[in-house]
Amino acid sequence: MSHRLFVGIRPPPPIRDALIDLMEGVDNARWQDDDQLHLTLRYVGVVDTHAADELSERLRAASGPAFDLTIVGTGAFERKGVAHTLWAGIAPSIELTRFQQRVERICIAAGHEPEHRKYHPHITLARTNRGTAPLAPLLARTADLRLGPWTADSYILYESFLRPEGSVYEPVVRYPLVPDP
């Protein structure tokens, strides 16, 4: 059996609610729903059950202190001049950078290919394509967006299921981060 996995951090309900409140004003965007909102630390990809179980166990070692995150601004990823993903950005955080690098090292040690793209922490708000209305009005309206700070107190190994109506993300294992004493 195969599993499509990624590691992420789930924002708390007030942050997710505020993000959902932003999701309007762009016709034909495929907006994320509450269950899809997360900050990806590492996309793993499709693995067999043995590799999934090994990664699940190894990820326990990533645990460390909880840290704060803040959402700042919005943007879009483009491919060949066409936006495909609308996102909310994450303010630079040395704690997040170190933690993401720790997760990356664990994935590599578990036998997964290194991630070659530069890490760009964000929370996906919508998927877009050529048929999507212009993003400029929403990007202008949300340029000064600031949500948080909020405490990342856990990280999650997710399994992703591709469906015609969009991906479904199911938490497999939730790992706690240690609160400050």
Q: What is the pLDDT of residues 105-150, one digit of tens each?
A: 999 999 999 999 999 999 999 999 999 999 999 999 999 999 999 9
Residue 15 has pLDDT above 80, yes or no: yes
Residue 18 has pLDDT above 90, yes or no: yes
Q: In sequence order, what are the residues at sequence separation of 6 or more whose Cβ sits closer than 8 angstroms to the Cβ of residue 91?
A: 69, 70, 71, 72
Chain segment 60-113, per-residue pLDDT in tens? 999 999 999 999 999 999 999 889 999 999 999 999 999 999 999 999 999 999
Residue type, 177: L
Q: Are 67 and 130 in contact (CB under 8 A)?
A: no
Domain ranges of the chain: 2-176
Helix and strand element counts for the chain (H, E): 4, 9
Class of the 2-176 domain? alpha beta
Q: Are 96 and 69 in contact (CB under 8 A)?
A: yes
